[in-house]
Amino acid sequence: MAQNADNVLDHFDLFRGPEYQEMLANKKAKFEGGHDPAEVERVREWLKTEEYQKLNFAREALTVNPAKACQPLGAVFVAVGFAGAIPFVHGSQGCVAYYRSHFSRHFKEPTSCVSSSMTEDAAVFGGLNNMIDGLANTYNMYKPKMIVVSTTCMAEVIGDDLNAFIKTAKEKGSVPADFDVPFSHTPAFVGSHITGYDNAMKGMLEHFWDGKAGTVEKITPVKNGSINFLGGFDGYTVGNLREIKRIFNEMGIKYTIVGDNSDVWDTPTDGEFRMYDGGTTIEEVTNAVHASATISMQEYCTEKTLPMVADHGHEVAAFNHPISVKATDKFLMTVAKLAGVEIPASLEKERGRLVDAIADSAAHIHGKKFAIYGDPDLCYGLAEFLLELGAEPTTVLSTNGNKRWEEKMKALLASSPFGKDCEVYSQKDLWHLRSLLFTRPVDFLIGNTYGKYLERDTNTPLIRIGFPIFDRHHKHRYPVWGYQGGLNVLVTILDKIFDTMDANTIIAGKTDYSFDIIR
Amino acid sequence: MSVANEDTVDVKARNKDLIKEVLAVYPEKTAKRRAKHLNVHEQGKSDCGVKSNIKSIPGVMTIRGCAYAGSKGVVWGPIKDMVHISHGPVGCGQYSWSSRRNYFIGVTGVDSYGTMQFTSDFQEKDIVFGGDKKLSKLMDEIQELFPLNKGITVQSECPIGLIGDDIEAVSKAKSKEYGGKTIVPVRCEGFRGVSQSLGHHIANDAVRDYIFDKQDPAKLAAFESTPYDVAIIGDYNIGGDAWASRILLEEMGLRVIAQWSGDGTLAELEATPKAKLNVLHCYRSMNYISRHMEEKFGIPWCEYNFFGPSKIVESLRKIASFFDDNIKENAEKVIAKYQPLMDAVVAKYRPRLEGKKVMLYVGGLRPRHVIGAYEDLGMEVVGTGYEFAHNDDYQRTAQHYVKDGTLIYDDVNGYEFEKFVEKVQPDLVGSGIKEKYVFQKMGVPFRQMHSWDYSGPYHGYDGFAIFARDMDMAINSPVWKMTKAPWKAEAAATAVAAE
């Protein structure tokens, strides 16, 4: 018996003891009906080959380990960024349980969201009654300032019409006639979570700017010199939006963060559960129509939203998740120009500090090969940064990247001698990437938590940057935008490089001549 | 501080008032419906006096999931040597990817697939033109790229049933094409039923229809039978639970021929009709197949509970009672062997946990099954409820587990649960990831009781030591003394949003 009250063994150690090892070996040998170990070994090796890669890339129907989620997740991300807003997802209830769990595992925070709980009868007759009852219940129980409606694939397949349903629900008295219920259709079988962000943000702005589904006059924009900021779907939203606010305050500009979920996903433990905290107010999002310009930090999260905003007379600018010095320079110069201000000396000093840090550390990164996967804008921003560090992005893969992204990505890589050997893949998954890591090995992999399976299988050290990050804590609190964010990304990369160096040199009397105390 | 008799009256009155207070927030129609799911348990009643397994009310923030979660996430997903396709859009498979911690031994991607996400990633054209051709091609690709897979299941997501796809026909044709390969279409679309529960049932039925009924008796199990062959049913090996259970059954001289479904294989499912007894842990999710095996193969089944020494002792004796004296004696030996460990665990942790009050809200067996383990540590469960129980679960709860005056809440929602905890002020809440941070913000210690909060196993004697350690570390963490800034007066935990 290995277990001991003085030193309690849990799953990490308990099953490594001889009793359990023998039991498991016996189970395998007698009852599992498994394959000959030699055959398993043969297939394991075959999976690493060029031949396998060719078959793997010939897949047309099967997706294995994709790096993307579905639209409604993005809609929920948008909704919680508004003050007192509760996301209401029309369709099957299990979906909402999944979105809430997914966000809570990443942010280690509660995520409030309701479902209209449609079942078989709603599949036959439509979900109108679910909308009528659901809005009434949510309104009474959770006292929201607005209810933000989106859809699951079930509601989309049966063709429920949100505009008509919400109108009818209001007529039936579910919520007051003038209560705000912005909505968007977010079919899970189109695009990904970033498409959901785009549709939900567009739906939100249309509601408040363009006459609240025909119930009030459209607002005529009157330019007030303010700038709107859209972050896009972002796992670092807590740290990033706070950093952006700090930068904008430093620059002394007038701005609105449209969809500010940095507080609701970072509430204190002080004895009180805040279901709502912070967020863009109704007044703020309404007045955002009068801004002179709107900035999107992630082009591929706002492909529909930004043109719609431009139609309201705003100057618009889109970035690709800027991390590098150059990208942050461009971002700040654009903001300064749009706002008519100078970039303050304080930010210039921050820039200098990031350049200083790169100069101090570049030798350890220069020439290292990297594979990157994630959302399209994040991939772009990271690749841009690596090029600046003298690293060599070798593989960039985005499951939810489109052809336009692929072209733009290739153009970026072609612009630098460090990017000339890089291959770009859109609409591919992490099983494709697994093949690539065997056939074109790299020194480091950058991706989300699921990359740990690739790290295990291909022995490529994983640097966790992306969404979701489930198995490391609190990373979302640290910005990856602005010069300070660039510094955080640099340190994250360096930490793994140094840890890997140490792990590779730690054997006493064998490799530890390089186990240096100063690096 | 166990509740004395005179206090029970007060507690009951308080709990009844609390239910009234909670119901006051609802529109009239909703209040009427929810009233049937909330109750204060009366000693001696045959059930908990609540309605269950009824549709959730729209808009209330139910904690429940769906049929797909019950089939892919619970029953089928852990069968490690089969490829489980999340058939439909990408999300369902993505959110349930590796999140349940059903541990297994195997080479992932080569001969095991338990922590992989296979999906048909439906696009608009698949919705419009149907997904059967895609499914058919996808199976070919699985066969080519994952040649060691033992079988395939098709886990239907919502659109499949709505667009009229014939996954049964595709599965049948492909099975034939691959020489009788096991391919299991599962109609677990998320809109079916009212919770995960129907998904369990559908998944059980699929085992019956596509494994047992299609089985070639000549092929049945490669091993020689013994009189001591048992199968563990309804243990998903969360953090290694089934392993910590299996070791005890084997120590008492039984031979475990199959695990359903944690660390399970297709061969084990197929061999189960040779068992002499099915031992059933999660009654809710696998009673269907146990009853079927009893009817069809004459295999008796027995429910057991491996949480905490009191229930383990009771269960080991109950299981042994199905066998000869030798096994009965062995059971006593096993009990005696572990008694010193249990005494040491209780001696260490009971003084730190004595009198602490617990509120639970979990899935299909834990809201009752873990009560004994808490009581072994001197703790008291003052409120409990199920996400997806049926009335037979509430009967078992009332007859064997809960005390007079316990607050019972079926399909509780965010608002109700917060209110209950705020007023009852338990020392610990045990529920899921969606609830965890809500209560921690309120300053209430919390353990996830689906995933064991990334710890475990909690089953068996080895598991109880971990359970005790974890409850202690949750309740007695120094962090709970710091939730109020010293310059602020102490105030009770409140949920602002709920007011």
Angstrom distance (rounded) from CA B325 to CA B302: 18
Tokens of A224: 């007030």
> Where would I find the beta strands (DSSP E) of A44-172?
63-64, 85-90, 114-115, 146-151
Angstrom distance (rounded) from CA B188 to CA B208: 15
Q: Give the mean model confidence (pLDDT) for residues A59-81.
A: 98
Angstrom distance (rounded) from CA A51 to CA A55: 7
Residue percentage of chain A with pLDDT more than 90: 100
Contact criterion met (CB < 8 Å) for A5 and B344? yes
Tens-digit pLDDT profile for residues B173-188: 999 999 999 999 999 9
Tens-digit pLDDT profile for residues A473-519: 999 999 999 999 999 999 999 999 999 999 999 999 999 999 999 99
Best mutation target, A45, A57, A141, to test chain B (most B CBs within 10 A): A141
| DSSP one-letter code for B491 | -
Indicate if B75 and B108 belong to the same structural domain: yes
CATH of the domain at B388: 3.40.50.1980
Contact criterion met (CB < 8 Å) for A3 and B138? no
Contacts of A98 in chain B (CB under 8 A): 65, 69, 91-92, 95-96
| B406 falls within a domain | yes
CA–CA min distance B260, chain A (Å) = 12
Angstrom distance (rounded) from CA A33 to CA A28: 7
Indicate if B282 and B311 belong to the same structural domain: yes
Bond preceding residue A468 cis, omega within 30 of 0: yes
CA–CA min distance B314, chain A (Å) = 21
Q: Which of A78, A149, A153, A285 is catalytic?
A: A153
Indicate if B339 and B373 belong to the same structural domain: no
Indicate if B88 and B207 belong to the same structural domain: yes
| A300 falls within a domain | yes
Q: Check whether B489 has a pLDDT greater than 70.
A: no
> Where would I find the beta strands (DSSP E) of A301-455?
315-318, 369-373, 392-398, 423-426, 444-447
Angstrom distance (rounded) from CA A505 to CA B474: 39
User: If you count them, how many residues does chain B have?
Assistant: 499
For the whole prediction, is pTM greater than 0.90? yes
| B403 falls within a domain | yes
| A514 falls within a domain | no
Burial of B58 (0-12, 13-18, 19+ CB in 10 A): buried
CB contact set of A285 (below 8 Å; sequence gap of 6+): A82, A204, A205, A208, A256, A258
User: How many CA atoms lie less than 13 Å away from B24 in the CB half-sphere?
Assistant: 10
B37 annotated active-site: no
Cβ(A118)–Cβ(A92) under 8 Å?
yes
Indicate if B359 and B471 belong to the same structural domain: yes
Closest CB from B91, B244, B436 relative to A95: B91
Closest CB from B55, B105, B137 relative to A24: B105
Of B277, B238, B236, nearest to B259 by C-alpha is B236
Indicate if A122 and A247 belong to the same structural domain: no
Angstrom distance (rounded) from CA A302 to CA A74: 12
Counted domains in chain B: 3
- ipTM score above 0.90: yes
Among residues B182, B212, B242, which one ends one of the domains? B212
A301 annotated active-site: no
Best mutation target, A1, A10, A174, A402, to test chain B (most B CBs within 10 A): A10
Q: Give the mean model confidence (pLDDT) for residues B459-466.
A: 98
What pLDDT does B259 receive?
98
Contact criterion met (CB < 8 Å) for A272 and B442? yes
Indicate if B155 and B116 belong to the same structural domain: yes
Tens-digit pLDDT profile for residues A337-388: 999 999 999 999 999 999 999 999 999 999 999 999 999 999 999 999 999 9
| B466 falls within a domain | yes
Q: Which of A157, A190, A341, A355 is catalytic?
A: A157
Q: Check whether B3 has a pLDDT greater than 80.
A: no
Round the CA-based radius of gyration of chain B to a whole number and report it. 23
Contacts of A72 in chain B (CB under 8 A): 91
B132-to-A413, A461, B143 alpha-carbon distances in Å: 40, 39, 17
Of A11, A116, A38, A121, nearest to A72 by C-alpha is A116
Contact criterion met (CB < 8 Å) for A95 and B59? no
String of DSSP letters for B80-148: TTEEEEEESSSHHHHHTTT-S-B---S-BTTTB-TT--EE----HHHHHH-SHHHHHHHHHHHHHH-TT
Among residues A346, A374, A398, which one ends one of the domains? A346
Round the CA-based radius of gyration of chain A to a whole number and report it. 25
Tokens 């061969």 label which residue? Answer: B267
| B224 falls within a domain | no
- Place B2 in a pLDDT band, splitting at 50, 70 and 90: very low
Tokens of B70: 């019950």
Indicate if B126 and B34 belong to the same structural domain: no
CA–CA min distance B441, chain A (Å) = 4
Cβ(A364)–Cβ(A497) under 8 Å?
yes
Indicate if B323 and B454 belong to the same structural domain: no
Contacts of A158 in chain B (CB under 8 A): 162
Contacts of B69 in chain A (CB under 8 A): 94, 97-98
Q: Looking at beta carbons, which pairs linking B207-216 to residues 24 or more positions away fall under 8 Å? A: B207/B75, B207/B269, B207/B289, B208/B289, B208/B292, B210/B171, B210/B182, B210/B183, B210/B184, B210/B185, B211/B182, B211/B184, B211/B266, B211/B269, B211/B270, B212/B273, B212/B292, B212/B296, B214/B182, B215/B270, B215/B273, B216/B180
Contacts of A114 in chain B (CB under 8 A): 58-61
A to B CB pairs, distance under 8 Å: 371
Q: Which domain holds residue A182?
A: 71-214
Contacts of B30 in chain A (CB under 8 A): 133, 136-137, 140
CATH of the domain at A377: 3.40.50.1980
User: How many CA atoms lie less than 13 Å away from A312 in the CB half-sphere?
Assistant: 27
Angstrom distance (rounded) from CA A28 to CA A418: 49
The nearest alpha carbon in chain B to A193 belongs to B91
Closest CB from B59, B63, B244 relative to A134: B59
Helix axes A376-388, A325-339, angle to 10 degrees: 110
Counted domains in chain A: 3
Residue B108's φ and ψ, nearest 5 degrees, are -60, 130
Contact criterion met (CB < 8 Å) for A133 and B30? yes
The count of other CB atoms within 10 Å of the CB of residue A440 is 14
Cα A330–chain centre separation: 22
Q: Which of B37, B192, B200, B284 is catalytic?
A: B200
Tokens of B40: 């204060």
Cβ(A244)–Cβ(A312) under 8 Å?
no
Cα B477–chain centre separation: 27
β-pair type (A63-64, B118-119): antiparallel
Q: Which domain holds residue B91?
A: 67-193+196-212
What pLDDT does B220 receive?
67
Q: Give the mean model confidence (pLDDT) for residues A184-211.
A: 98
Could you give the dihedral angle defined by the CA atoms of residues B475, B476, B478 and B479, in that order, rounded to the nearest 10 degrees?
0
Contacts of A192 in chain B (CB under 8 A): 90
Angstrom distance (rounded) from CA B411 to CA A283: 37
Tens-digit pLDDT profile for residues B396-439: 999 999 999 999 999 999 999 999 999 999 999 999 999 999 99
Indicate if A95 and A129 belong to the same structural domain: yes
What pLDDT does A388 receive?
98
Closest CB from B89, B492, B495 relative to A189: B89
| B329 falls within a domain | yes
Angstrom distance (rounded) from CA A208 to CA A313: 16
| B499 falls within a domain | no
Indicate if B205 and B76 belong to the same structural domain: yes
| A515 falls within a domain | no
| A80 falls within a domain | yes
- Place B98 in a pLDDT band, splitting at 50, 70 and 90: very high
Contacts of B145 in chain A (CB under 8 A): 52, 55-56, 59, 62, 64
| DSSP one-letter code for B69 | I
Of B306, B304, B328, nearest to B462 by C-alpha is B306
Closest CB from A5, A23, A119 relative to B246: A23
| B185 falls within a domain | yes
Angstrom distance (rounded) from CA A63 to CA A54: 15
The SS3 call for residue B52 is coil
